[in-house]
Structure 1
Amino acid sequence: MRALVFKRYGKSDQVSFADIPRTTPKPNEILVQVHAAGLNPIDNMIPKGTFKPILRFDLPATLGSDLAGVVVEVGSRVTRFKPGDAVFASIFDTGKGALAEFALVPEDAAALKPQNLDFVQAASIPMVGLTSWQALKQRARLKPGQRLFIPAGSGGIGTFAIQLAKCLGATVGTTTSTANVDLVRNLGADEVVDYKQQEFEQVLRDYDAVLGTVRGDAIEKSLRILKPGSTVVSLIGPLDAAFARARGLNAFMVFVFGLMGRKIIRLARKRGATYSFLFVQPDGGQLAEIGELLKTERIRPVIDKVYPFEEAKEALAYLEKGRSKGKVVVQIR
């Protein structure tokens, strides 16, 4: 089967198409014929070796995490799916890739595709949906009436997180460029700061939670808008010791990650806030719950561009520019 793979870490020219064997599912896996694969920023970071100490791959490795497609074969212990089922899933952190004609998916990572979504729409959801779900419901424990700040509201994670936060009854503040103000307002954002005109930390006040989505000093600046007892959940770092321990890393890595996160944790405490770094985990049960929100159209996919499979490298290059309005998806079948 054809797949987009990277052969070694560190060089973008190592990403290329290859013909690789189509493997048989293990007892707890399903084999999915991939119709579409959603792209995420980490898909560009992995081949560069950014997460080499954390994520394990047998090289050459297939890129991509999010997929939607049709089950063609099931393992001997699989009970939730059968051949012919349309599913969507994130296979992030499983050592497998989605940018291929077929993909192996752990049974507990998949969910039935909402019938009102096509495969491209469904493939745009898993990582941003699960990340938002785990950050807002589990880590921040967002409650109705609370105020949540989500910078970069027009991006892939922002467009989903705004909608989920509104479903949870929160007031949402965000930043975006002038051209995307109407987009984020239509998704439900209550307070919108045009970052080309104003600094968000000079405008927003008394927030209960921040979802960190922007690199640089945005996390530190966001502390200024928080009230005591608030929560910062970062998707972009700095990493912390708690994350290293949760990954089962050795004592040296716990120490290193502890140093990386020490400053932001100290600054957060001064504001009476807590800080943590979140690494999304595949979860078919949560994805099924997200699917219910998609079925009722309380949340809708936001897709910027769709590329054919043969232009997957161009799709990754476009995503890396950081200008997409919503998700970038590769259509494979």
Structure 2
Amino acid sequence: MRAVVINEYGSKDVLVEQELPKPEIKANQVLVEVYATSINPIDWKLRAGYLKQMLDWSFPIILGWDVAGKIVEVGSEVKAYQVGDEVFARPDTTPEGTYAEFTTVDEELLAKKPSNLSFEEAASIPLAGLTAWQCLVDTTKVKEGDKVLIHAGAGGVGSLAIQMAKHLGAYVATTASETNEAYVKQLGADKFINYRTQNFEEELSDYDVVIDTMGGDILNKGFEVLKPGGRLVTIAGQPDQALAEKHQVTANSYWLTPNGKQLGELGELLEKEIIKPQVGHEFGFSAEQLQKAHELSETHHAKGKIVIKVK
């Protein structure tokens, strides 16, 4: 099968095309023919070598941990799926990712592709969608009437998190550039903060929840907008527990847990159009195209999700 792999850590230029054998499924897995995948920061962070201590794999490594496609083979223990089913998933984090014509997925991580979505739209959802949902629902337990700050509202996670927070009944503030003001308001944001010209910590106060996607100084300043008892979660670093104590709030770092059941629940919201996919950029399936997609993702200025059309 065709795959785009890395054989060493480095810049986007280490992404190369390679012929590899089709992966073999275990009894609890299916083989998915990949129609589309998408780019997430974990892809280029791993490519650059930032995660090699955490994920100590041998080369070649196939990056990519979002998939939408059709099942072409089913393991002997798989109960709920059959050949021909259209599915989407955030597969397990392995060195046999989704920048390939075929990938394996554990049954428990699969969900049926929403019938109203294209494969490209479906591929944009799993990793970013589950991250947003788990941060809002499982970690910070957002409820009706909460005031929620979501950083980088025009990005992959932010553009889904705004919609989810509104669905949960929250009042939503978000940071973005002036070019994306209309976009984040259309997604449902109640208050827009232009991060280039405004300091969000001076504009906002008494918030219940902060969803941080940026890390660094922005993460630290997030504590200042929370009221006592507030909740902060970050997907971009480790929160300072001394600051959390000072502001009398709880703060957690979050790493996504793949979950097919939750993804199926998100699929229902997508079918009802309560949440809409946000595909901002689409690239073809080649080393050159994936290099361009990585370069765009690394700017942190991509609008919505970056999707790769494989088939």
TM bracket, shorter-chain basis: over 0.9
Gaps of 5+ in 2: none
Q: Is 1:328 paired with 2:306?
A: yes
Contact 1:151/1:174, CA 8 A, preserved across alignment:
yes
1:317 partnered with 2:280: no
Which ranges of structure 1 fall in alignment gaps of 5 or more residues? 239-260
Count of residues in Structure 1 that have an aligned counterpart in Structure 2? 309
Mapped partners of 2:308, 2:34: distance in 1: 10
Measured in 2, the distance between the counterparts of 1:10 and 1:323 equals: 21
1:95 to 1:107, Cα distance in 2 relative to 1, 3 A: farther
2:58, 2:84 → 1: CA distance? 30
1:286 partner amino acid: Q
Deviation at 1:24, TM superposition (A): 2.1
CA contact (8 A) 2:97 2:103 kept: yes
Q: What code does the residue aligned with 1:219 have? A: L
Instruction: Give the equivalent residue in structure 2 for 1:243.
Output: none
Does residue 19 of structure 1 match 2:19?
yes
| TM-score using structure 2 length | 0.97
Corresponding residue of 2:205: 205
Q: Deviation per CA, 1:227-262, whole angstroms, max 9, x where unpaired?
A: 001111110012xxxxxxxxxxxxxxxxxxxxxx5x
Which letter maps to 2:105? V
The one-letter amino acid paired with 1:60 is P
- Conserved? CA contact 1:39–1:64, under 8 Å: yes
Task: Indicate if the aligned counterparts of 2:15 and 2:290 stay in contact, CA closer than 8 A.
Answer: no
Show the 5 A alignment for 1:213-252.
213-238=213-238
Verify: 1:60 aligned to 2:60, yes or no: yes
- CA contact under 8 A between 1:87 and 1:113: conserved in structure 2? yes
- Residues 1:295 and 2:236 aligned together: no
Displacement of 1:141 in angstroms is 0.9
Residues 66, 92 of structure 1: 8 Å contact kept: no
CA distance in 2, matches of 1:326, 1:11: 23
Q: Which letter does structure 2 place at the counterpart of 1:284?
A: G
State the alpha-carbon separation in 2 of the partners of residues 43 and 82 from structure 1. Answer: 29
2:257 is the counterpart of 1:265: no
Contact 1:114 1:294 in 2 (8 A): yes
Q: Matches of 1:332 and 1:147 in 2, distance apart?
A: 40
Q: Secondary structure at the match of 1:224?
A: helix
SS at match of 2:93: coil
**2:174 aligns to what SS in structure 1?**
strand
Instruction: Tell me how far apart the structure 2 counterparts of residues 324 and 291 of structure 1 sit (CA, whole Å).
Output: 24
**Cα distance in 1, alignment partners of residues 157 and 176 from structure 2:** 13
1:130 alignment partner in structure 2: 130
Q: How far does residue 36 in structure 1 lie from its aligned partner after superposition?
A: 0.4
| In 2, Cα distance between equivalents of 1:90 and 1:313 | 22
Q: 2:46 aligns to what?
A: 46
1:72 maps to which residue?
72
When the two chains are superposed, the root-mean-square deviation of aligned CA atoms in Å is 1.2
SS in 1 for 2:47: coil
Q: Deviations over 1:173-218 (max 9, x none)?
A: 1011111001000101111111222111110111011111013300
Shift of 1:92: 4.6
Superposition deviation, residue 12 in structure 1 = 4.1
Secondary structure of the equivalent of 1:292?
helix
- Determine helix, strand or coil for the equivalent of 2:241: helix
Q: Distance in 2 between matches of 1:13 and 1:211?
A: 33
| Identity in percent | 42
Within 2, Cα distance between the matches of 1:321 and 1:12?
13
